[in-house]
Amino acid sequence: MTNIQVVLDSTAHALPKWLSGHSCVHIAPLTVEVGGKECEEDQLSAEELFALMNSSASHPKTSQPPPGAFLSIYESLLKAEGDIIVITLSEALSGTVRSANLARELCSDPLRVHVVDSATTAIGMVKLAEYVMAAAKRGQDVKDILQGLSSAVAATHTYFVPGTLDFLYKGGRIGGASALFGSILQIRPVLYLAQGKVTVLEKVRTRRRAIDKLVDEITKMPSFAYLGIVHIASEEEAEQLAKRLSALFPTVPVIVSTAGSVLAAHLGPGLVGVIFQEKVL
């Protein structure tokens, strides 16, 4: 077994029960500010964020972990033998990966710290961490683990249907013209991350057609390691989508999870997404 420690940022939204069973995984928290209140992400759920927004005139703001937060984790872990693999959300969405890399340059043994841009977030990051842990358990060396992790990142895809475009617009993630177009004509976009950036796959007129388009895109893929359903305040719809995908792909694990407050601040309530990985050798 290879000694590897894994660091995730908090947008992975790894559940306490999962973390308690994986002592080699450590979390660098992002922060959320709303109504003058600032919290680390794991201290504020998406539902609590939306409740606070009802009494605040300003849109919530999020902040990446400062380099010092990563540096503190690195130095603690570098006291033991082995390497550290840091998996962050997409660089196109956040400066978190830059903080992680700066901390790497400042730490006492940078050659043992490896920072990887996941090009995704949420359950996609959790599954990448599981890949690393499984490879380490098999005894692969860190070079081979990183090579396999790079392939897993390339094979991971993120599609989502937002419940509203207002949060993406106010957070600066899409242009004003797109937000206006969707508002006036009730266009429902299907979005995806292309090289980590939010990109429009297709615009349709109804939510049902948007979900159908999402499913249609998934069925074009040749094989899956897993299918992850992610939602924000849309549990019933997420469960229905999970049943639909389970019927289409009965041998593929389908996981339903929620997003944390940082993603909720940028994507808003009603989001349903699918993060999945094609099978890699």
pLDDT score at 177:
40
Q: Which two tokens stand for residue 219?
A: 């069925």
Within a domain: 38 = no
What is the H or E stretch that residue 229 is in?
strand 226-232
β partners of residue 248: none
pLDDT in tens, 155-210: 999 999 998 878 777 766 555 445 545 554 567 888 888 876 788 888 888 899 99
Same domain assignment for residues 162 and 145: no
Do 145 and 171 fall into the same domain? no
Whether 47 maps to a domain, the answer reads no
pLDDT for res 250: 96
Confidence label for 15 from pLDDT (cuts 50, 70 and 90): very high
Task: State mean pLDDT over 72-84.
Answer: 97
Residues 190 and 119 in one domain: no
DSSP result, 44-98:
S-HHHHHHHHTT-SS--EEEPPPHHHHHHHHHHHTTSSSEEEEEES-TTT-SHHH
Residue at a domain's end among 154, 178, 198: 154
One domain for residues 168 and 87: no
- Both 116 and 94 in one domain: the answer is yes
Q: Are 19 and 142 found together in one domain?
A: yes
- Count how many domains the chain has: 2
pLDDT of residue 151: 96
Q: Show the domain range for 240.
A: 156-277
Do 135 and 19 belong together in one domain? Answer: yes
CATH number at residue 186: 3.30.1180.10
User: Could you tell me what percent of the chain has a pLDDT over 70?
Assistant: 94
Residues 12 and 73 in one domain: yes
What's the CATH code of the domain at 111?
Answer: 3.40.50.10170
Q: What is the pLDDT of residues 249-259, one digit of tens each?
A: 999 999 999 99
The pLDDT of 14-23, averaged and rounded, is 95
Instruction: Indicate whether 55 belongs to any domain.
Output: no
Residue 139 falls inside a structural domain: yes
Q: Which strand ranges, in their side-by-side order, compose the sheet holding 271-277?
A: 197-204, 188-194, 156-161, 271-277, 226-232, 254-258
39, part of any domain: no
Burial class (CB in 10 A: 0-12, 13-18, 19+), 261: buried
Residue 44 CA to residue 63 CA, distance in Å, equals 14
- Name the pTM for this structure: 0.92
Residues 121 and 204 in one domain: no
Q: Which of 273, 35, 11, 36 is nearest to 156 (CA)?
A: 273
Same domain, 87 and 22: yes
- The answer to whether residue 194 sits within a structural domain is yes
SS3 of residue 156 by DSSP: strand
What are 212-232's pLDDT values in tens digits? 999 999 999 989 999 999 999
The per-residue pLDDT for 4 is 97
The whole-number average pLDDT for the span 33-44 is: 90
Q: HSE (CB half, 13 Å, CA atoms) of 205? A: 0
* Arithmetic mean of pLDDT, 2-28: 96
Among 114, 139, 154, the domain-final residue is 154
Query: What is the number of helices (H) and of strands (E) in the chain?
Result: 11, 13
147/220 same-domain check = no
Closest CA to 18 of 4, 8, 30: 8
Q: Which of 277, 260, 268, 11 is nearest to 121 (CA)?
A: 11
Average pLDDT over residues 244-271: 95
Are 130 and 162 in the same domain? Answer: no
Specify the pLDDT at position 28. 98
Q: What is the pLDDT of residue 186?
A: 65
Query: In angstroms, what CA-CA distances link 48 with 30, 265, 267, 270?
Result: 16, 11, 15, 15
- CA 256 to chain centroid: 13
Please indicate, yes or no, if residue 205 is contained in any of the structural domains: yes
Residue 127 in any domain: the answer is yes
Q: In b/e form, how buried is each residue of 234-248, taking b as 16+ CB within 10 angstroms?
A: beebbeebbeebeee
Span 90-113, average pLDDT: 95
Domain boundary among 111, 128, 154: 154
The pLDDT value recorded for residue 21 is 96
DSSP conformation class of 23: T
- Residue 47 is predicted with a pLDDT of 93
Q: How far apart are CA 273 and CA 233, in angstroms?
A: 12
Q: How far apart are CA 90 and CA 211, in angstroms?
A: 24
